Structure 1
C-alpha cells in the first residue's frame, strides 16, 4: 500500500531563553515528519543544529530528496543508507518506527522489552549560562531535583559552579562547557569539581581538539557529546572519555542510536541519553535508550511555553512518559 509523506517546519517558543556558550535560543525550531499508510500515521521530529551545518530548510530538502523511496515503502534498513546521520534522517527513522509499530499493533515498550507502562526517569534539569548570581537563583529553584546540568563557559566557570552548588547542595551535577574550555581549564578545575561533587564533565574541549584527552586521567568522568555521533566514531574516540552522550539528532534516528548504545557498552563506556531543545515528539523515541542509561538529559520539552498535546511532563526532576499512543505505536 502506498504511503504519503509530509515534512514541515514548526517553531515552539520557549518559556525562558536557553543560554549556552554558543548562544541563546528563544524557540525550538523543528522539522516534523509524518508517514501515513492505510489511514495509519507515524510521526517523527528532528531539531536541525547549526553546529553541524543543519537548518530546517536544509533538512526538509534532504527528506524531500527521498520522497519517492519513502512513499514506495522503504524500511529503516534501507533508509540508513539513503541519508547521512543527522537531523533529517532522525525525523524519518522515528516516523518509520512509529508507523511500523502502529501497523503491527505493537508499541515501543513491547518491542524494546521496557517496563509497561513506561516508568518515570530522573532527568537532568538545566541551569543555563548566565552570571553566577543569576545561575545561583536558577539553581535554587532546582535544589530538590536529583540531577542538575550546569552550562558554563570560560568567563568564570569556578564562580558559576560555586554559585550553583551553594544554591543546590544536594543534586548530582553534570557540568557542560559545550566545547568552550581548553585543557588548562579541564586540568586546573579538577580539584574544584571534586570539591563540588561533580559527577560528569560533558564535552569540555572542541571536538576537533579533543585528542588532548588521550592519556589524560581525569578525576571527573568525562562524556563525549559533539565528538560522538554514530557507532563508527568509537574507533577514533580519545581514551579520556568514559561516557558517550547519545542524541537521536546526531545518530540519525533511534535505529542507529540503539547500535551506538550497544557498541559503547561493549567497550565498557557509560551511556548518557541527551536531546536538543525540542518538543516531546523528539524525546519519546529516546526513552528506549534512556531507560537503561547512566545519565539522562531529556528536559528539552520542559523549556517550551506549550508542548505537543499528550507529551511528556516533568515533576521535581523526573520525566513522566507521554500519554499512550503519543508515539511508538498503540
Structure 2
C-alpha cells in the first residue's frame, strides 16, 4: 500500500471534509431496543490532487456513540490527514467503531481511485459478484409481522425479535411465507430462562440462523447447551480482540464495518474467525449504499449477507448500489472503490 506520508513535492495537501446527513426510513424501523424513523449517517470525504475518497458510518448509541462525538473524532484527525494519514496508521489512531470506519473506507476509496484499480484488487481479493441479501422485518405483533413478511415477497427474511411472544411471531410468519429462508435477530432480547424454548421454536420453523439471542457479556449459557440452530454473534463481536471468547458459544460472527472500524479490520476479523472455525455473516446498520459498498468485498466468504440498509430507506443516495429485488450488485466506482 502506498505510504501517503511520503508525498512527492508539488502534490496537493489532502483535505478532510466531514458531513452529517439524514435519510428518512420508509415507515418505522423497530427492534427490541426501540424504533427510529430516519438514518443519521456521518460521511468522511478525503480529497487529494483532485481525487476524492468517501466513507460513511452510522454512530450507534448501543456502543456509546453519538453523531456529534463521531463527527468530532473524525474532524480531530484532519491535521493527520493533511500530513498523509494512511490506513495502517489509522488503526492505532482510533479504536474500532463508527469514526474509524468512515475514515478507513474513505482511504480505501481514495487509494483505489488514485491507483485506477478496484478496491478488491488492492486487497488481494476476488471480485465480488451479485448476491442475495436478507430483507429485514421490524418487530411487531405476530399479525403485523406476518403481513409484512408476505408483502415483502423476498427469498431471505431477517426477523427482528427479542420480545415476549416470539414463538407466536415465528409461527405466524412461517405460515405466511412457507418457502422463505428465515434469519432471526433477537438483539440481545432473550434471557437464559427463555432461550431453550425460543431456539426450539426457531428450529421448528426452519430458521437458518439466530443472531445474538442473549446480552453481550451474559452469554455463557450458550456454551453449556445444545444449539438446535446455529448462533451468530453480533453485539458480542467487534474487533479482533473480541474473538477469543466466542469459540464454543457461537457458530457464526456478524461482521459489520461500523463495529470493526472499517474494511481493514473487517477483513482481518473475517480471516481470523474462519481460522477458529466460525462462519461469516456480513451485516450493516440502516444506512445508504455508500456504507454497504465496502462490505460487498466480504460477501464471497459469507454464509449470510444482510446488506439491505438502502432498501429500508425512503430514498437512497445517488448513485447507489443496484438492487433487483433481493439481489444486490457490486458498486460502480462512482459510488465507491
Partner of 1:236, secondary structure, is: coil
Per the alignment, residue 66 of structure 1 pairs with 77
Superposed CA offset, 1:170-206 (max 9, x none): 1211111100101222211233222200110100101
Give how far 1:78 is off. Answer: 0.3
Alignment of 1:1-330 (within 5 A): 1=11, 2-112=13-123, 118-143=128-153, 145-237=154-246, 239-328=248-337
- Separation in structure 2 between the aligned mates of residue 177 and residue 85 of structure 1, nearest angstrom: 23
Task: Return the offset for 1:238.
Answer: 5.1
Aligned-partner SS, 1:48 = coil
CA distance in 2, matches of 1:29, 1:157: 29
5+ long unaligned stretches in structure 2 = 1-10
Following TM superposition, by how much is the alpha carbon of 1:115 offset from its aligned partner in structure 2, in angstroms? Answer: 5.5
State the alpha-carbon separation in 1 of the partners of residues 137 and 240 from structure 2.
30
Q: CA RMSD in A?
A: 1.4
The alignment's TM-score, normalised by the length of structure 2, stands at 0.93
Distance, in Å, in 2 between the alignment partners of 1:109 and 1:65 is: 29
Q: Is the 8 A contact 1:302 1:313 kept in 2?
A: no
- Displacement of 1:110 in angstroms is 2.5
With the length of structure 1 as denominator, give the TM-score of the two structures.
0.95
Task: State the Cα distance separating 1:279 from its structure 2 match.
Answer: 0.5
Distance in 2 (alpha carbons) for counterparts of 1:108 and 1:163: 43
Indicate the larger mover: 270-279 or 175-184: 175-184
Distance 1:310 1:290 in 2: 21
Contact 2:247/2:276 (CA < 8 Å) preserved in 1? no
Counterpart contact for 2:162–2:213, Cα < 8 Å: no
Q: Is the 8 A contact 1:87 1:249 kept in 2?
A: yes
* Distance in 2, Cα, partners of 1:137 & 1:316: 18
Question: 1:113: Cα distance to partner?
Answer: 5.2
Aligned partners of 1:200 and 1:222 also within 8 Å: yes
Cα distance in 2 for partners of 1:191, 1:23 equals: 26
Q: Where do 5+ consecutive residues of structure 1 fail to align? A: none
CA drift at 1:162: 0.9
Q: Is the 8 A contact 1:90 1:252 kept in 2?
A: yes
